[in-house]
Amino acid sequence: MKLRKSAAVAALAVLALTATACGGKEGSAGDKPSNPAGSNAPKAPEYAVAKDVKLDASATFKKAKERGKLVIGSKADQPFLGFEDQSTKERSGFDIEIARMIAADLGFSKDQIEWKTVDSASRESAISTGQVDYYVGTYTINDKRKLQVGFAGPYYKAGADLLVRKDESGITGPESVKGKKVCSIKGSTPLAEIKKPQYGAQTTELAKYSDCVQQLLTSQVDAVTTDDAILKGYAAANSGKLKVVGKPFTEEPYGIGMNKDDKALRDFINDALEKHEKDGTYKKIYDATLGLSGSTYTEPPAIVRY
Ligand code: GLU
């Protein structure tokens, strides 16, 4: 078998993770170094910060300009997607870079971004009450959420899957979780799916995915369900202990959440996504983030404008 570069990088990440976990730090299930030390891992690109952006029709943009910084909502415990290193406070991952890329197009540099960690169940309220200017954090676009927030994208398509311990042989897909303890997150679409009576799962409902992963590692639950992209990150960061079943059972198109009425911002972000999918920035971001967790690259889905 050929040892791919991404596998080597993931192995380094695991070594560093083990070092952190041995330090007994809380929440180790979600830990991963933001940049595996000494590796040849591809680096996320530098983004050219736009000058004199005219977007007066966007109330969100005007407010951000006045305060001199953008407030972006994200996750902090999802390795390779939306991750915050607890010692350096540095953020990394696919969603973080997508958010930075858009910020640069809006005229905001990396140090003009204030990050706010917002869990799945609080996203709609954080966006609709203006606590964040936009949100990038494994956020599935759906009609129910569209009643409260606006979405640019989709910029990635994931699917719900199951994460289990390496020695698990009884759980082979959603049809085999009857009577099993399955952990997921309040306010998430995979939780809503696995709660359907047809699966017969016993659910444990927490606020953070890293807490579910911890419960899986300590055998308090039998599986964790959420998007495959997220689970692959945890599997890579806990290599040798966990595996992804690999049978996605929903479609989860990721969007960038923002104020429902700010069509000008939505159009601007859709243009930015399209432009950077074409100019190669998107692929560079993918290779430097999600690509390192063992996900295979697929072309981004077509943007849906409304
Ligand atoms: N993409 C799914 C959702 O938006 C699950 C991941 C998450 O909770 O962020 O609900």
The amino acid at residue 284 is K
Which residue's alpha carbon is at the smallest distance from atom 10 of ligand 1?
Answer: 188
Q: pLDDT tens digits for 278-297?
A: 999 999 999 999 999 988 89
Which residue's alpha carbon is at the smallest distance from atom 5 of ligand 1?
Answer: 188
pLDDT of residue 23: 34
Q: Of all atoms in ligand 1, which is nearest to the CA of residue 226?
A: 5
Q: What is the DSSP letter of 140?
A: B
Give the pTM: 0.89
Ligand 1 — pocket residues by CB below 6 A?
120, 137-140, 185, 188-190, 226-227, 252
For residue 202, list its beta bridge partners.
Answer: 181
pLDDT of residue 89: 96
Q: Of all atoms in ligand 1, which is nearest to the CA of residue 188?
A: 10
**Cα 200 to ligand 1 centre (Å):** 21
149 alpha-carbon distance from chain centroid = 18
Ligand 1 pocket check: which of 189, 193, 224, 230 to mutate, most ligand atoms within 8 Å of Cβ? 189
pLDDT of residue 39: 65
pLDDT of residue 203: 98
**Cα 273 to ligand 1 centre (Å):** 20
**Cα 184 to ligand 1 centre (Å):** 10
Low-confidence ranges of the chain (pLDDT < 50): 1-28, 32-38
**Cα 53 to ligand 1 centre (Å):** 32
The span from the CA of 122 to the CA of 127, in Å, is 9
* CA contacts within 13 A on the Cβ side of 236: 28
- What CA–CA distances, in Å, run from 19 to 12, 23, 96, 235? 11, 7, 24, 17
Query: 292 and 80 in contact (C-beta within 8 Å)?
Result: yes
The span from the CA of 257 to the CA of 135, in Å, is 5
**Cα 190 to ligand 1 centre (Å):** 7
Q: Of all atoms in ligand 1, which is nearest to the CA of residue 139?
A: 4
pLDDT of residue 295: 84
Ligand 1 pocket check: which of 185, 210, 234, 249 to mutate, most ligand atoms within 8 Å of Cβ? 185
Q: Of all atoms in ligand 1, which is nearest to the CA of residue 189?
A: 10
Which residue's alpha carbon is at the smallest distance from atom 9 of ligand 1?
Answer: 138
